[in-house]
C-alpha cells in the first residue's frame, strides 16, 4: 500500500508531532508514504479571503504535482488542508470555467491538472483502505480502559462529507474501538468548532468554544482528547491554561494527535511518536495502556 | 475604513458585489434564501456578531451594502461550514462570507484596525514569500502590528512550544515559490482583461 503524502505547513512548526507520528504509525502498519515533491501551502482558509480563483490555483499546483508524481491517491493529514484540496477538486469538477481558469494559471508555470487526483483524509485511508479488521490485527498494545474523546473538528467532514457524516462523524470512533479503546461515542463536541485562527483575532470567542469542548470531555471522564487537525490540537492543548484562567476551571486534559495514541497501540515508542513535544503531559495516558 | 459617501456609490458597490457573488459556483442560490435562520442558529460565533448570517443575506439582497461590509460578521466566520451543510436552500454560506471578505479587502472597506484582515494579508504574504506559511513569522508580524499584549498572555505556552521545537525560527523555502507569484500575476492579468 502506497500513497503520496501531503504534510501541510503546520507539520513544520506547531504541528510537527502530527507529521512525525503519522510517519511512525504508518511504518508500523506497512503503509508507504511518499512525500509530495516541493509542495506548497494549500492556502487554508485565509487564502480564500483574497481571491477565490487564486486559492484554487494555488491548491491545484499541489494536485498537478501529484498527478505527475504518481498514480497513488494523495493522503492528507490536516483537516484544513484536506478540505481545501478536496474542495478545489470539487469546484474544478463542478465548474468547467474554474477548471479552465485554473489550468490557464498553471499553464503560466508549465503545469496542468486533469482534475482526477483523489484527495484522501488519512482516516479515510485507514478505515476504508487498510480496514478495521486489519487495523485490529496490527495492535500490539490494546488501548484497553483508555477513555478517548474523539475530537473530529469542523473540516474533517464538512462541507463535503466525502467519507463520513458532516454533522455526526463516526469513523474515528470505529478506528479507536478497533484499537480496544473505550471511546466516548456521544462526545457532544466532536464536530463543533474550536475557533481556529480566531484564537488570535478574537480570543474570547475562541476560548469559549474550546471551553465547551474541554468541559464536554471532562464531564464524560475522558483520559485523553484525540485530534485530526493541528489547529484544533493547538487550541485545545496550548490554550488550556488560558481557558482555565478565563473560566475558573482547572482542566489538565492530555490532548494528542490521533496518530500518537494509535501509534502507541501499534507498538511505536512515545519518543518515536513525538509525545515529548506535548505541552500537557501525556505520561499518565502512556502509563495507563496495558503492556 | 472608507466611508460610503453617497447613495450612488453604495448602489454601484452593490451591483459589483452582486456580480461577484453570482459568478461564484452556486452563487445564484442566494436568491432563494427564505430567511429561515438555520445558518444563524448553527453558527458557533453568531452571538458575537452585529448581524447574524441570515441578516447579512437579507441586508445584502436589500441593497444595504453598508450594513454588510461594516458589520463584524464576515470577520467572525471561522469557516466551520455548519451553516453550509444545514442550509435548506443549499446556499454555500461560508463561501459567501469569503466572497464578502474579498470584496471588503478589494474595495478597502475592511476595518483598518481589524485583526482578521491583517491576519489574512500576512498569511498570503508568507505563502508567496516561502511557498509555505511560516507560522512563527505570521505570529510575530501579527503580534508586532496588531496585538502587543499577545506575547505576554502567551508567554508560558510559547516557551513550552519553543523548547519542544514547535516554533522554528527559520522558514523553509520551496524550490517553486516563484510559481505562486506567476500564478497570481496570470490570474490578475486575466481579470483585468475581462473588466
Reported in sequence order, the residue ranges of B58-140 that DSSP labels E, i.e. its strands, are none
| CA nearest to A36 within chain B | B174
A121 forms beta bridges with A76
Q: Give the domain ranges of chain A.
A: 2-121, 132-288
CATH fold of A2-121, please? Glutathione S-transferase Yfyf (Class Pi); Chain A, domain 2 (1.20.1050)
Which class in CATH covers the domain with range A132-288? alpha beta
| Mean pLDDT of the B137-164 span | 82
Which residues make Cβ contacts (< 8 Å) with residue A9, sequence separation at least 6? A41, A44, B132, B133, B134, B135
pLDDT score at B5: 53
Instruction: Report the pLDDT averaged over residues B80-101.
Output: 94
Q: What is the pLDDT at residue B10? A: 77
Task: Say how far residue A66 (Cα) sits from the centre of its chain.
Answer: 20
**Strand order across the beta sheet in which A74-76 lies:** A32-35, A2-6, A74-76, A119-121
Stretch B5-22: mean pLDDT? 79
Res B3: pLDDT: 55
> What's the confidence (pLDDT) of residue B6?
63
Residue B4, pLDDT > 70, answer no
Task: Name the CA dihedral angle for A118, A121, A126, A131, rounded to a multiple of 10 degrees.
Answer: -60
Contact assignment for B123 to A47 by CB distance below 8 Å: yes
Residues (pLDDT < 50) of chain A are none
Instruction: Cell 444563524: give the residue.
Output: B40
Bridge-partner residues for A225, per DSSP? A149, A255
Domain annotation for chain B: domains and CATH numbers: 7-106 (1.10.1060.10), 115-194 (no CATH)
CB of A282 within 8 Å of any CB in chain B?
no
Question: What ipTM does the predicted assembly reach?
Answer: 0.92
> What does the pLDDT average to over B20-42?
91
> Looking at the partner chain, which of A46, A104, A195 has a beta carbon nearest the beta carbon of B123?
A46
Stretch among A252-261, B97-106, B146-155, B184-193 having the lowest mean pLDDT: B146-155
- Contact of A12 with chain B, judged by CB distance below 8 Å, is answered with yes
How far B8 CA lies from chain A's nearest CA (Å)?
Answer: 26
Using the predicted structure, report yes or no on whether residue B195 has a pLDDT greater than 80: no
Share of chain B above pLDDT 90, in %: 37
Q: Report whether pLDDT(B110) > 90.
A: no
Whether A154 sits inside 8 A of B119 (CB atoms) is: no
State whether the Cα torsion B81-B166-A31-A57 is positive or negative. positive
Q: How far is CA B18 from CA A38, A88, B21, B26, B192, in A?
A: 38, 23, 5, 13, 18
CA atoms within 13 A on the CB side of B153: 17
Question: Distance from A267 to chain B by nearest Cα, in Å?
Answer: 23
Give me the pLDDT at residue B104, please: 84
Alpha-carbon distance values, B102 to A46, A106, A110, A180, A234 (Å): 10, 22, 28, 47, 27
Q: Can you give the pLDDT at residue A243?
A: 95
pLDDT of residue B119: 83
Other CB atoms within 10 A of residue A47 CB: 23
What was the pLDDT predicted at A96? 93
Measured CA to CA, the distance from residue A56 to residue B24 in angstroms comes to: 12
B chain contacts of residue A100, beta-carbon cutoff 8 Å: none
Instruction: Measure A176 CA to nearest chain B CA, in Å.
Output: 24
CB atoms within 10 A of CB A132: 16
A111 Cβ contact partners less than 8 Å away, ≥ 6 residues apart: A61, A64, A65, A68, B179
Q: What is the pLDDT of residue A143?
A: 98
Write down the pLDDT at residue B1.
Answer: 46
Secondary structure (3-state) at A98: helix
Contacts of A13 in chain B (CB under 8 A): 134-136, 166-168
For residue B89, is pLDDT > 60?
A: yes
Amino acid at each position: 500500500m502506497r500513497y503520496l503524502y501531503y504534510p501541510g505547513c503546520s507539520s513544520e512548526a506547531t504541528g510537527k508531532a502530527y507529521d512525525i507520528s503519522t510517519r511512525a504509525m504508518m511504518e508500523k502498519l506497512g503503509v508507504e508514504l511518499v512525500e509530495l515533491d516541493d509542495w506548497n501551502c494549500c492556502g487554508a482558509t485565509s487564502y480564500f479571503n483574497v481571491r477565490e480563483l487564486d486559492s484554487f490555483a494555488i491548491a491545484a499546483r499541489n494536485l498537478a504535482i501529484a498527478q505527475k508524481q504518481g498514480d497513488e491517491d494523495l493522503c492528507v493529514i490536516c483537516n484544513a488542508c484536506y478540505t481545501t484540496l478536496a474542495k478545489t477538486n470539487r469546484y474544478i469538477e463542478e465548474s468547467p470555467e474554474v477548471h479552465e481558469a485554473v489550468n490557464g494559471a498553471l499553464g503560466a508555470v508549465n503545469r496542468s491538472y486533469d482534475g482526477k487526483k483523489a484527495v484522501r483524509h488519512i482516516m479515510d485511508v485507514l478505515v476504508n483502505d487498510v480496514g478495521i479488521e486489519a487495523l485490529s490485527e496490527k495492535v500490539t498494545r490494546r488501548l484497553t480502559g483508555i477513555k478517548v474523546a474523539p475530537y473530529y473538528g469542523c473540516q474533517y467532514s464538512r462541507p463535503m462529507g466525502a467519507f463520513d457524516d458532516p454533522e455526526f462523524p463516526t469513523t474515528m470512533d470505529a478506528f479507536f474501538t478497533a484499537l480496544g479503546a473505550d471511546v466516548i461515542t456521544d462526545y457532544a463536541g466532536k464536530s463543533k468548532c474550536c475557533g481556529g485562527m480566531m484564537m488570535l483575532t478574537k480570543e474570547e470567542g475562541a476560548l469559549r468554544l474550546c471551553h465547551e469542548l474541554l468541559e464536554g470531555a471532562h464531564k464524560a471522564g475522558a483520559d485523553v482528547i484525540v485530534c485530526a487537525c493541528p489547529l484544533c490540537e493547538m487550541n485545545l492543548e496550548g490554550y488550556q491554561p488560558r481557558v482555565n484562567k478565563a473560566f475558573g476551571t482547572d482542566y489538565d486534559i492530555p490532548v494528542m494527535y490521533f496518530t500518537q495514541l494509535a501509534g502507541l497501540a501499534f507498538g511505536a515508542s512515545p519518543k518515536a511518536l513525538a509525545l515529548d513535544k506535548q505541552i500537557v503531559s501525556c505520561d499518565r495516558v502512556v502509563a495507563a495502556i496495558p503492556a | 475604513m472608507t466611508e460610503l459617501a453617497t447613495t450612488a456609490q453604495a448602489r454601484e458597490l452593490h451591483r459589483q458585489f452582486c456580480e461577484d457573488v453570482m459568478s461564484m459556483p452556486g452563487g445564484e442560490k442566494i436568491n432563494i434564501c427564505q430567511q429561515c435562520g438555520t445558518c444563524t442558529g448553527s453558527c458557533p460565533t453568531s452571538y458575537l456578531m452585529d448581524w447574524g448570517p441570515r441578516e447579512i443575506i437579507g441586508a445584502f439582497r436589500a441593497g444595504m451594502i453598508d450594513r454588510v461590509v461594516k458589520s463584524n460578521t464576515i470577520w467572525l466566520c471561522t469557516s466551520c461550514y455548519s451553516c453550509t451543510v444545514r442550509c435548506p436552500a443549499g446556499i454555500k454560506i461560508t463561501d459567501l462570507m469569503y466572497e464578502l471578505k474579498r470584496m471588503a479587502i478589494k474595495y478597502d472597506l475592511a476595518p483598518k484596525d481589524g485583526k482578521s484582515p491583517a491576519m489574512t494579508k500576512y498569511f498570503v504574504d508568507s505563502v508567496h514569500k516561502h511557498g509555505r506559511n511560516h507560522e512563527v513569522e505570521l505570529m510575530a508580524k501579527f503580534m508586532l502590528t496588531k496585538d502587543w499584549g499577545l506575547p505576554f498572555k502567551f508567554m508560558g505556552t510559547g516557551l513550552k512550544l519553543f523548547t519542544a521545537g514547535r516554533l522554528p525560527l527559520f522558514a523553509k523555502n520551496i524550490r517553486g515559490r516563484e510559481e505562486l507569484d506567476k500564478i497570481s500575476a496570470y490570474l490578475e492579468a486575466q481579470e483585468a482583461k475581462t473588466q
